Amino acid sequence: MTFDRRVKIAPSILSADFADFGREIEAIEAQGADWVHVDVMDGHFVPNLTFGPQMCRAIRPHVRTVMDVHLMIAPVDPYIDAFAEAGADVISAHLEAGPHIHRTLQAIRGAGCKAGLAINPGTGLDGVEYLLDMIDLVCVMTVNPGFGGQKFIESQVAKVKALRAMIGDRPIHIEIDGGMTPETAPLMAAAGADVFVAGSAVFRGGSVAKPEVYGENIRAIRTAAEAAL
């Protein structure tokens, strides 16, 4: 993975057909996805359950871009090696998932992955400052984690602006997750984000039989975000 701040669209397979992940991933990548976002939920840190490292391992051969694994689980540390071995390129853990996020981030890089720090809408940037030298990405949640299809929380725009200033020249991606559409993505692009996770807005109306709809949806978000730069 090389670093750049160009707009990247990361469809979340949370909105894909769960019976057909391999072909869904191939379809979104063929239609212009830059990264593939994988939402791991444990029914404890968030009120929903999805999948674990075995599923990540199974889909890995279908991912040609970047496998971006968002862990919404607590505890995190016992599972880091399993997700790294499953082929994750980026592993994001939540600041709120436990008392020792510093150790967690060390373990993610130690396992050979890029380290992402995810923060909930109610979390400020205080806890991010002393972690900047050990992260490759900050994932700013613009919904409360757990479900796709929720409404974008507008108050997070100011947070992203402040985060962008805090990051300065460091090679750290700002990823936005939740409620991304062609209407909301430009607000975050202007604020300094470069990775745009989108579930429902990418998969809506399409299927593996109608992949061109994924392409239209991805292009609509990308074009809107780039126009705000």
221 makes contact with ligand DX5 (CB under 6 A): no
* Nearer to Zn ion (CB atom), residue 116 or residue 186: 116
Please say which residue, 15 or 104, places its beta carbon nearer to ligand DX5: 15
Which position among 68, 89, 136, 177 bears the catalytic label?
Answer: 177
Distance separating alpha carbons of residues 68 and 88, to the nearest angstrom? 6
Is residue 194 annotated as part of the catalytic site, yes or no? no
User: Considering the rule CB under 6 A, would residue 197 count as an interface residue with ligand DX5?
Assistant: yes
Interacting residues with ligand DX5 between 177 and 196 (CB under 6 A): 177-180
Residue of 34, 39, 89, 136 marked catalytic = 39
| Torsion angle of C-alpha atoms 49, 159, 197, 136, degrees rounded to 10 | -90
Nearest alpha-carbon partner for 5 in 145, 188, 201, 216:
188
Instruction: Say how far apart CA 85 and CA 2 lie, in whole Å.
Output: 21
- The correct pick among 25, 117, 189, 198 for binding ligand DX5 (CB under 6 A) is 198
70 is an interface residue for Zn ion by CB under 5 A: yes
DSSP line for the chain = -----S-EEEEBGGGS-TT-HHHHHHHHHHTT-S-EEEEEEBSSSSS-B---HHHHHHHGGG--S-EEEEEE-SS-GGGHHHHHHTT-SEEEEEGGG-S-HHHHHHHHHHTTSEEEEEE-TT--SHHHHTTGGG-SEEEEESS-TT-SSPPP-TTHHHHHHHHHHHHTTS--EEEEESS--TTTHHHHHHHT--EEEESHHHHTT-BTTBHHHHHHHHHHHHHHHHHT-
Stretch binding Zn ion (CB under 5 A), from 149-157, 172-180, 182-190, 204-212: 172-180
CB of 11 to Zn ion, least distance (A): 11
Q: Mask 10-39, x = binds Zn ion (CB under 5 A)?
A: -----------------------------x
Per-residue x/- mask for ligand DX5, residues 72 to 111, rule CB under 6 A? ----------------------------------------
- 81 counts as catalytic: no
Q: Per-residue x/- marks for Zn ion, 177-216, CB under 5 A?
A: x---------------------------------------
| Interacting residues with ligand DX5 (CB under 6 A) | 12, 14-15, 37, 39, 70, 143, 145-146, 148-150, 177-180, 197-201
- Active-site amino acid positions: 39, 177
Q: Write out the residues near Zn ion by the rule CB under 5 A.
A: 39, 70, 177
